[in-house]
């Protein structure tokens, strides 16, 4: 049978892309001073690609902000710099080390650098006068993030109240703010880990090499494989061995585990993710294991 008319239906990936681009444009039009939180990980890189498309051929009309724990993977920082240089965006680095030195946050020797990011981030947002901050959170990652709206309101202290969120019927977003408040924006909230990898493959996006299978010296702690590092001293009974691994998510290297994997190409990673039964944060992020509500508690205080 001959086709009598064109099929204008979008694929699932095209629909997700269109929704995210719409959110970027809405925020740029509505908020006085947005900023994009950019770590150099796969989700924030997809966000950079979406922002690039949203405003092309113009440059991205807002800066990018990274909260540097001092414990970031070198491969991630290199990829971050490659993206910033290629797109010509302004990079703001909020250093946890500097925040400790300036008394913005207190390092008691027990609190992880990951948690110290909260005060560092809130201080950077306040100093920059930012009214909206794009984040790469996805609802499939973790149950606290599953509760969160696309426009996620923060009070004058940068805190989130999960019981006081604004409705978003028909994808209509309420961006009204009082003095001192700001909004966290999650353009890829409806994406899954599999969608992210499909998009990376389709767009041929540059990502850190540690997402692919490689040899690494690791040790086991709390059921996770952590990287050997000067920042990660071994505890009694722990031994280092070389394994073939890759990272599903990246962050503070003292708390971010890797998984044993032979997946060295994007199609192989997609096949691996398609049959995974645990989310990337649930499998490899030590900061989410402190308690059943660890992520929600940090988000209430002002975490990403």
Report the C-alpha gap between 76 and 208 in whole angstroms: 5
Asked whether the predicted pLDDT for residue 7 surpasses 80, the reply is no
Helices in 104-177 by DSSP H: which ranges? Answer: 113-128, 143-147
Asked whether the predicted pLDDT for residue 279 surpasses 90, the reply is no
Confidence of residue 292 (pLDDT cuts 50, 70, 90): low
Range list for CATH 3.40.50.620 in the chain:
12-194+293-301
64-68 β-sheet, strand order: 91-95, 64-68, 34-37, 132-134, 182-185, 151-154
Options 3.40.50.620, 3.30.470.20, 3.30.200.20, 2.30.29.30; CATH for 12-194+293-301 is: 3.40.50.620
3-state class (DSSP) for residue 242: strand
pLDDT tens, position by position, 162-201: 888 899 998 899 999 999 999 999 999 999 999 999 999 9
Confidence of residue 61 (pLDDT cuts 50, 70, 90): very high
pTM greater than 0.95: no
The chain-wide mean pLDDT, for the chain, equals: 90
Inter-CA distances, 168 with 31, 69, 128, Å: 17, 34, 28
Handedness of CA 20, 22, 25, 27 (dihedral sign): negative
């Amino acid at each position: 049978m001959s086709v009598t008319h064109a099929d204008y239906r979008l694929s699932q990936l095209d629909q997700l892309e269109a929704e995210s681009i719409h959110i970027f444009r809405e925020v740029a039009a509505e908020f006085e001073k947005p900023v994009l939180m950019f770590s150099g990980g796969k989700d924030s890189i997809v966000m950079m690609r979406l922002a690039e498309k949203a405003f092309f051929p113009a440059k991205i009309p807002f800066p990018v902000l990274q909260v540097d724990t001092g414990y970031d993977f070198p491969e991630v920082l290199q990829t971050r710099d490659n993206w910033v240089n290629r797109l010509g965006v302004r990079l703001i680095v909020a250093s946890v080390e500097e925040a400790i030195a300036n008394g913005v946050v207190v390092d008691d020797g027990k609190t992880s650098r990951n948690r110290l990011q909260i005060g560092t981030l809130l201080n950077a947002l306040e100093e920059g006068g930012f009214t909206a901050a794009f984040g790469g959170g996805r609802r499939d990652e973790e149950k606290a993030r599953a509760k969160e709206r696309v426009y996620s309101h923060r009070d004058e202290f940068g805190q989130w109240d999960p019981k006081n969120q604004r409705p978003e019927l028909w994808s209509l977003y309420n961006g009204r703010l009082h003095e001192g408040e700001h909004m966290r924006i999650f353009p890829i909230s409806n994406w899954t880990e599999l969608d992210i990898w499909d998009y990376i493959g389709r767009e041929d996006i540059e990502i850190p090499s540690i997402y692919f299978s490689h040899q690494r010296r690791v040790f086991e702690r709390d059921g996770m494989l952590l990287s050997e590092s000067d920042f990660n001293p071994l505890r009694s009974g722990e031994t280092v061995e070389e394994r073939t691994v890759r990272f599903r998510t990246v962050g503070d290297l003292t708390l971010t585990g890797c998984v044993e994997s032979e997946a060295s190409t994007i199609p192989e990673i997609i096949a691996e993710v398609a049959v995974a039964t645990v989310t990337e944060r649930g499998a490899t992020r030590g900061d989410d294991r402190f308690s059943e509500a660890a992520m929600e508690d940090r988000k209430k205080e002002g975490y990403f």
